[in-house]
Structure 1
């Protein structure tokens, strides 16, 4: 499998203009300083912008800090903001005025798009003024009554959004600063000692903090798959336009599952696509009983995986690929599948549930071994698919199931006092996998 994240993704055929070009005057577009700014009614206050690495707050109603390179975006003393115009006259004069205002709005929009392309195209060490430029773009859009949130989420750079490219650039920076002896870091922070990484993360945080549409979020997911980064997926996850199932009244952020993904670094592991995903699922039994499902998603080997526990109900609507023959109502099931249009692949994996040996020795069941079983793609020459249409028409390419209720050990997960669940209600999971045709060897070594 070729790791595409090693390529330099920020060199498309039709590169966005250089930053200096984006802010320079040209014969085809006037600078914003020559446009009479006609303010609309002030928008409601918004505080969805996070603080950047320097502690600055991004409030839509805050006075922008304008660098010299983006000075044209903000009104200056020599070009004061014009008062609101009177009601436009009817007829061709009103049409002429409206056309002129639309033309000016379009020029502002194109300039903002150009600046965003410049921000994405900047090289290492050139992001010091990036946040100020974005803040000035917000102010310019507000003055014209334009929506910066909509403009910034257009697929304006090689068919993708600026948020997509900000993730790709972070992946390139991670790869350039990692070595076999020092692999990619598991945790990223704007306070990272790498100044360039800190600025890249600040750009991502500002763009991700916008009220994202489903299209923008899906585009960003594809960027996480391109660089194969579960860390960036977790950083993106809180900004999802849809909310995960949770018990009403509980804080999802304070009770979030802990997931760690590790790829095999040796030569054999690189050939077989071996990886390990370890999870600590909080409040497992209670969530499954109340919500009827507990799901964890993670990124590994350029693909999005979904591991789901759910309770089968005859009265509940399931997609066609969820059909399991001879399953009883109320059965507990675990399912593993590819999602988000991930590339097809073979899969041979082993799921380990619980770690009772780690409990205090005073407990009578402390000598029990964990629950272990294989989860693998069909042995009839069929690969798993991340395409929903393929999974509907070819069930063998869809999810892999294991009926917990029919497993002598796993059936205990539904009972209080289960020895495989921690005293605080958390459940340990370990998925070891290879992206190869399944082996018949019961003692297969994964990593």
Structure 2
């Protein structure tokens, strides 16, 4: 609740004050919070934040700037709206900001992006003037045991929902992220859990493009430089089977990253579970005869976060990389034969295509997330167990394209496998 104070004679009322707390309750009834997805279109109408919107159309990674809050641009600053003037009101500022943010999320006025952004800017100004961190307040678990970011994700509609219109302006989630950065590890965990609760794979992947949510290791920064191309992941549910899905991926600089970083991890959400598919080189183990052997190139598939346990039958498929056709000019028959009398064939001999690498990933026991009382269960196989899979260990192999990208897909079905020769997805 805003605490009113009688204005002093020399304390004039600003001519352009920010929207008041009551603005939230007086917005037109035709506002439809369901109509806005995270970032598809214009940027937030805010001079205090340079965060680009989250977009679903191959947008660049989300930046993580700090919102600038203290530029005395004329009248209408938050300190006048809040009417707090001394350090004794720090607790009142915190209480008021928490209440405003709670109401914003509870009403979820996604279309009213200007009002929401203005209120958050005013909160930022009031916090700055009273030495309160708005970032900390936005990352507190102050709303029913969760952070405002968690609820902003849970209450928003997925991008592909029928009520979401293309070209809508950024919603409340984008605004809150812009004022909450830098995010704490606990907040990132909350964001991941919210994406899992809504099975929002597309939002999860867009957030993972941001270093704020998926930091790049120092080794990869040194290896690949400042512009690190992101891993591409797409998930498609198989409509004919309620427990089946296909995950397609593209991994840039696969062999280089494996040789130097020793690991490539792909995280995704499918069938109400969060998964991690990882390529890694087995480390040295103090136990002799451990499986897999140290130095082996391996693949693991596991559940992460709070995903429920399940049986799984799946296969990882990697096709031969497509090559660009050679220049037709180089295939022309020479005007005169060589002196040896040997004449090149008119058409080049086409090499026989390589077989698809097929690696079976199945669990005869339920996969489960590691917890306090258990070490977890996952699937681990060695590429050496497959004659074709072993090719991935070598440079210039036919399964990695000239662009140094590894392309593959995981076909999976929840359930206990019955036979080794049974088709995973039929």
Secondary structure at 1:248 match in 2: helix
The corresponding residue for 1:433 is: 412
CA distance in 1, matches of 2:74, 2:411: 51
Q: Residues 204 and 137 of structure 1: is their aligned pair in 2 closer, same or farther, counting only changes over 3 Å?
A: closer
1:134 and 1:65 mapped to 2: Cα distance? 16
Which segment is superposed worse, 145-154 or 433-442? 433-442
**Corresponding residue for residue 149 of structure 1:** 135
> After superposition, what is the alpha-carbon deviation per residue over 1:211-269, rounded to whole angstroms, capped at 9, x for unaligned?
111111101100000111122112322254662334233346541111111122x2x32
Contact 2:258 2:264 in 1 (8 A): yes
In the superposition, the TM-score normalised over structure 2's length comes to: 0.73
- 1:438 to partner: Cα distance: 1.6
**CA displacement at 1:384 relative to structure 2:** 0.7
Do residues 274 (structure 1) and 244 (structure 2) align? Answer: yes
Q: Which residue of 1 aligns with 2:215?
A: 243
Length, aligned pairs only: 351
Contact kept in structure 1, 2:268 and 2:275, CA below 8 Å: yes
Residues 121 and 435 of structure 1: CA distance in aligned 2, closer, same or farther (over 3 Å): same
CA contact (8 A) 2:234 2:249 kept: yes
C-alpha distance in 2, partners of 1:412/1:419? 8
- State the partner residue of 2:201: 230
1:380-419 mapped onto 2 (5 Å cutoff): 382-389=365-372, 391-392=374-375, 398-419=377-398
1:269-308 maps to which residues of 2 (within 5 A)?
A: 269-270=241-242, 273-308=243-278
- Structure 1 residue 354, shift from structure 2 partner: 3.4
**CA distance in 2: counterparts of 1:343 and 1:399, whole angstroms:** 13
Quick check: which has more Rg, 1 or 2? 2
- Partner-residue secondary structure (3-state), 1:349: strand
Please state whether the residue corresponding to 2:142 is helix, strand or coil: coil
Q: CA deviation at 1:366?
A: 5.2
Matching residue of 1:121: 106
Q: Which runs of 5+ in 2 are unaligned?
A: 9-41, 50-66, 327-347
The answer as to whether partners of 1:230 and 1:300 remain within 8 angstroms in 2 is yes
Give the Cα separation in 1 of the matches to 2:72 and 2:85.
Answer: 15
CA deviation vs aligned residue, 1:288-347 (integer Å, no higher than 9, x gap): 0001111111111221111111112316x9xx9xx9834333111111111112111121
Q: Please give the alpha-carbon distance, in whole angstroms, between the structure 2 residues aligned to 1:348 and 1:425.
A: 29
Give distance in 2, aligned partners of 1:363 and 1:169. 59
CA RMSD of aligned residues (A): 3.4
* Stretches of structure 1 lacking an aligned partner (at least 5 in a row): 1-23, 36-50, 83-100, 179-184, 186-191
Tell me the distance in 2 between the aligned counterparts of 1:308 and 1:301.
Answer: 19
CA-CA distance at 1:79 after TM superposition? 6.5
1:74 corresponds to: 79
Q: Contact conserved, 1:356 with 1:366, CA < 8 A, in 2?
A: no
Between 139-148 and 117-126, the greater mean CA deviation after superposition: 117-126
Number of the residue aligned with 1:255: 229
Rounded to whole Å, the distance in 1 between the matches of 2:171 and 2:73 is: 17
The alpha-carbon deviation at position 105 of structure 1 amounts to 1.0
How far, CA to CA, are the matches of 1:204 and 1:276 in structure 2?
Answer: 33
Q: Structure 1 residues 114, 324: CA separation in 2 closer, same or farther (over 3 Å shift)?
A: farther
CA contact (8 A) 1:167 1:232 kept: no
Select 1:335's aligned residue among 300, 325, 340: 300
- For the 8 Å contact 2:323–2:401, the answer to whether it is kept is no
Distance 1:33 1:294 in 2: 62
Number of the residue aligned with 2:178: 206
The answer as to whether partners of 1:279 and 1:430 remain within 8 angstroms in 2 is: yes
Q: Is the 8 A contact 1:116 1:162 kept in 2?
A: yes
1:3-22 deviation per Cα after TM superposition (whole angstroms, max 9, x unaligned): xxxxxxxxxxxxxxxxxxxx
Contact kept? 1:346, 1:377, Cα under 8 Å: yes
Q: Deviations over 1:324-381 (max 9, x none)?
A: 8343331111111111121111211111123346665979655112101211112xxx
Q: Quote the residue 1:63 is aligned against.
A: 71
Structure 2: how far apart are the matches of 1:363 and 1:390? 60
TM-score of the superposed pair, with normalisation by structure 1: 0.69
Q: CA distance change for structure 1 residues 121 and 372 in 2, over 3 Å: closer, same or farther?
A: same
Q: Tell whether the 8 Å contact from 1:336 to 1:399 is kept in structure 2 after alignment.
A: yes
Alignment match, 1:188 = none
How far apart, in 2, do the equivalents of 1:254 and 1:367 lie?
31
Q: Which residue of 1 aligns with 2:118?
A: 132
Structure 1 counterpart of 2:96: 111
In the alignment, the residues of structure 2 paired with residue 421 and residue 75 of structure 1 have an alpha-carbon distance, to the nearest angstrom, of 61
